[in-house]
Structure 1
Amino acid sequence: MAAEQTAIRRIMVALDASESSLSALHNAVDLAARLGAQLIGLYVEDINLLRLAQLPIAHEVSAFSQTLRRLDGLDLERQFRDDAARVHRAILNICAERNVPCRFEVFRGLVAAELLAAAAQADLMVVGKIGRSYSGTKRIGSITRMIVSRRTGLTLILQSGALLTILPVVLLYDGSPQARKSLAVAAHLARAPQGRLTVFVVADNRQDARRFETEVLEYLQVYELGAEFRLLVRDALAGIAQRIRLESAGPVVIPCGAQEQEGEQLCALISEISNPVLLVR
C-alpha cells in the first residue's frame, strides 16, 4: 500500500468562550505550531437566540442562582460582543506565544450551518465536545453532533482538558479507503518523540483482520514506525468504547463514511470516551 500524504495548512477552530472550546483552542494552536499551519478562529452569533429574545414570553434561568429573568435582545448582543472580544484576545495571545499565523472571524446565523460553510475552506476543523454546558455532562453537544454527522474532511473533537500529546495514538482500521487516509494521519501523529501507535483492527472475520493488519504493517515500514495490534472481530460499539478507555487516553483516529446513520453511531462512540477524536471522512 503506497504512503499517502495528508497536508494540513489551514486549521479552523470553532469558539464560543466555553471552557471546552478554549481548551480546543490551545490544542489547535499546538497542532498548528507542529504542522506549520495557519489558525482560523471562528465565532458565530446564534441568530436563533436573537430571534427568541424578540418574543415577549422568552425568559432565561441563571445556571448559578436558578432565578428567572427576561431574555433581553440588547443584553444578548452585548454578550456576543464581549465573548467575541475575549476569544479574539485569547487567539492573539496564544498564537503570538507560539509564533502561529492566525486570523479571527465573526459570523451571525445558524451556528452549525455557519461552521460547516466556513470549515469547507479548512483542512482540519477543531471543535469542543460539549460547548456551553453547565450540567456536567460529558456527552456530545448538539452543534458538534451535527458537525460529526455532516462534515467531510478532517474533524477533531476535544473534551475540555484532553491533550493531543498523550500517547499512544489509537487507530480504528477497517480496510476502507477512509481507513487508509486515517492511517496516514495516525502515523503522522504517532511520529512525535517516543511516539507509539495502537491499531484496533475492526473486521467481520479473523481472515480479514489478519489481512488488514498486514496492510498496516507494510505502510508503517515506510515511516520506520512500529505498532501494537488489537483484533476486534464483530465487536459491538460498546465493546470498542470500553477497549479504547482501557487502552489509552490519547487521540483516537476514526475513519467514517458519509451516511448520517453512521454519524449517529460515531456520536454515540464519542460520547462514551473522553479521548480526543479525529474523524477522517
Structure 2
Amino acid sequence: MKSILIAMDESKSSKSALSVGVALARICGAKVKGLYVEDIMRLLEWQPAELISAGMGFSSAIPEARPTIEQVEAEKEFIAEADRLKKSFEEECKKFAVNYQFFTKRGKVHEIVEQMARTVDLIVVGRRGKTYPENSKEPGPVTEDLLRATTRPVLVVPENAKVENTILIAYDGSQNSQRALSIGVSFAKLLNFEVIVISIANDIDSAQKPLDEAKEFLAPYKLKATYVVDFGASMPWIGIAKQIKIFNPGLVAIGAFGENRLMELIFGSTTKNVLMETTCPVLLCR
C-alpha cells in the first residue's frame, strides 16, 4: 500500500479517520492525500426565488445569476473550514513524519472522493459527516454513496476509534468477500494482527465450505488465525454482529453491499447494519 486518501470534514468521526489513516501510512510508508470537498449542495440550498420559479415553468425569464447572502456566507465557511482542516492535516502528518499533500475541491462530495480515489490504494473516511446527526448510528448518506460508487477498498472509521491487534473477516465465498479476505489478510500481515475468519450461513455444511477456502488461502501467510462457523441467524449481519460482540476486534473486513438492491431494501443491507453495530473501523471491499 503506497497511497492513502483521507476524506475530511469537521465531524468527530473524520478526526478519527485522520488519526487512523496517518497511523496506517506511517506503518506502510505510504503517501497521504488529504481531501476537503466544498459541498456544492450547500450552495444549491439557497437558490433565488426567481430562478426556482423559472425552473418550475412559472416564468420564462431566467434571472441574472447572483449569489444570495446565504451563499456568500457558505463561501466564507468553505474557506475557513479548508484552512482549519489543512492545518490539522499537516500537523498530524508532520507528527508521524509521513509524506503528504492536501487538496480542496468543489462538487458533490462522493463524486469528488471517488474521482480522487482512482489514483490511491485505500480510502479512509469518517462514518458520518459534519451535517449528519451525531446521535444517529447509521452511516451518513455521503459515505453510503461513496461505497456504492468506488471500487477501491474503503476504511470507515467511527468516532474515537483505534485500530488494534485483531481483524475479523466475514467470508462467504462471494466476489466481494474474496476481496475482503485478500485485503484483510494483507492488513493483518502488515500490522501483525491476529485474524478471525467467520462464515455465516443457514446451515453448518454451507458455512463450512467457505471456511475451508479461507484456511487454505491463509496458510502461506503464517498468521495466527481462528476460524468460526455461525449458522441459523435470520440475516447474515445478525451473525456477524454477534461474532463482533464476542471477539471485540480492532478492525472488521467485509464485502461491501450485495448485488441485489431489492433484497437490501426489503431485508436491510448487511453493510449498513454492520456499520451501525460496530465501534471499530470497518474495511469494506468491492
Task: Give the TM-score taking structure 2 as reference length.
Answer: 0.82
- Alpha-carbon offset, residue 85 of structure 1: 0.7
Cα deviation 1:92-126 (Å, max 9, x = unaligned): 11111212111111111112221222222221111
Q: Is the 8 A contact 1:17 1:84 kept in 2?
A: no
Amino acid paired to 1:39: V
Cα deviation 1:146-202 (Å, max 9, x = unaligned): 1122321201100011111x2321000112343333223222333367631111113
1:243 aligns with 2:243: yes
The whole-number CA distance in structure 2 between the counterparts of 1:145 and 1:110 is: 13
The whole-number CA distance in structure 2 between the counterparts of 1:193 and 1:17 is: 28
In the other structure, the counterpart of 1:270 is 275
Task: Summarize the alignment of residues 102-117 of structure 1 with structure 2, pairs less than 5 Å apart.
Answer: 102-117=100-115
Q: Is the 8 A contact 1:12 1:39 kept in 2?
A: yes
In the other structure, the counterpart of 2:2 is 9
Task: Summarize the alignment of residues 31-46 of structure 1 with structure 2, pairs less than 5 Å apart.
Answer: 31-46=24-39
Amino acid paired to 1:189: F
Q: Is the 8 A contact 1:148 1:266 kept in 2?
A: no
Highest Rg: 1 or 2?
2
Cα deviation 1:207-232 (Å, max 9, x = unaligned): 34323222222222212112112212
The unaligned stretches of length 5 or more in structure 2 are 50-67
Q: Is the 8 A contact 1:29 1:95 kept in 2?
A: yes
1:89 aligns with 2:87: yes
Does the residue aligned with 2:200 lie in a helix, a strand or coil?
A: strand
- Alpha-carbon offset, residue 240 of structure 1: 2.3
In the other structure, the counterpart of 1:259 is 259
Amino acid paired to 2:243: R
The whole-number CA distance in structure 2 between the counterparts of 1:50 and 1:95 is: 31
Amino acid paired to 1:272: E
Q: Is the 8 A contact 1:50 1:76 kept in 2?
A: yes
The whole-number CA distance in structure 2 between the counterparts of 1:80 and 1:28 is: 23
Q: Is the 8 A contact 2:168 2:198 kept in 1?
A: yes
Amino acid paired to 1:140: P
Amino acid paired to 2:247: E
1:121 aligns with 2:119: yes
Amino acid paired to 2:135: G
Does the residue aligned with 1:92 lie in a helix, a strand or coil?
A: helix
Q: Which moved more, 1:234-243 or 1:30-39?
A: 234-243
The whole-number CA distance in structure 2 between the counterparts of 1:250 and 1:114 is: 29
The whole-number CA distance in structure 2 between the counterparts of 1:75 and 1:249 is: 43
Number of paired residues?
Answer: 261
Task: Summarize the alignment of residues 161-200 of structure 1 with structure 2, pairs less than 5 Å apart.
Answer: 161-164=160-163, 166-191=164-189, 195-200=193-198
Q: Is the 8 A contact 2:179 2:285 kept in 1?
A: yes
Does the residue aligned with 1:53 lie in a helix, a strand or coil?
A: coil
- Alpha-carbon offset, residue 234 of structure 1: 5.0
Amino acid paired to 1:11: I
Q: Is the 8 A contact 1:251 1:275 kept in 2?
A: yes
- Alpha-carbon offset, residue 271 of structure 1: 1.6
